[in-house]
Chains A and B, each alone.
Chain A
């Protein structure tokens, strides 16, 4: 009886884990009941993961995918945000850029796959380019609208206090848009993680996307397919959590609370 209390107390934290456990049990039960090859069972998938680990493929593919996402995402970040802030600040630049951006934006990054292969061949560069394309437009548009949404009073205070242009960017413009941009980064990183899997199915010979398509093509190893899917999901969750910790910074908090 004495030990029950701490367990009950930690119950809310354990709840998601318990729920996942329940679903896995249900999964196993259904696989057992329903004949045929609809899905590999949880134990098969676990064995698949063990195989991947033993052959060193899991680490290799995860690193390969993360490498492409990192570069594609960072390239988009360092180009789209300064460009978006500049366009947003100068109304005339926006009028010039807007039609082009609006036409390019709805094109799925996957539609760029042939072009990517034409320009960069089969390899990392193609995949990085596709991720870049997928991240660039959402970040650009967020940066533009973030500038539009800066309250006039912050700009006026900046002008009143006689800041030099570089100081103004660093002390007013950047902090005023940061919360929105960080939110956009979190969403965009999620997009990058979606795009990398698709890109790797076609444009490269490694990575988690390649693992999934290769496991199917090279012998219908659906245990590895599902193992790959689970790894993708877990890493996506971890990336999202990492970005969320940024949003908790005290100097950004004002941007997320409704005053």
Chain B
């Protein structure tokens, strides 16, 4: 085939152009460390990575929700444990005060102790996390219990989401949790003041019931915390596996990328060397004198 002078220059231009395009691409992958630098580099991989990133953002949010929920549940647990201790202390007091050897003035001074215990339980019922009352149902900005135990909250326990489709009640309907414990204490206090041993015995029986109820509630909170912990572990696993998948899709295999870059470099140098030879080749003109 005839080779025209113009064809030599044109082909040098075309070949150097396409090799430097390859070199540039290889260099981009090495310098960014990413396989996908433009949408068109791997559209399918990109769509997957977008989905994973959105999943990761959700996982992170669920993690925040769980740790927020945990702070409520831990506070509930410790408040309820204190309530349980007070109830059990009150029961001990009842047993002492029901004894026939106890005099009326000892009983009436014990009434003061019961009042303190009542105040203590009311204050535990009004426990809050960062200003939100945890035993007020969904009326989280309302102080749930008055001094006499009157309930001001509502019966919808405060719940949050810990996954796309499951919610957990982290707050409680205070009325259901505390039941008639306030009335029992008030009755007990009255019985002590009026030296009514029968009344003390009735209260003693009621306190057993309350103790059981609060215990049940504590184990309920405990099981929720357990559920949260399991969920949290799952989330951490998911986070790990998704991050790994994302990296597999998006990140370049550096060793491979550098190999490709070196290969492209070598091709480019060879092309430059051969092009410069072809272009400086003498023509017949140089030999005619």
A complexed with B: no
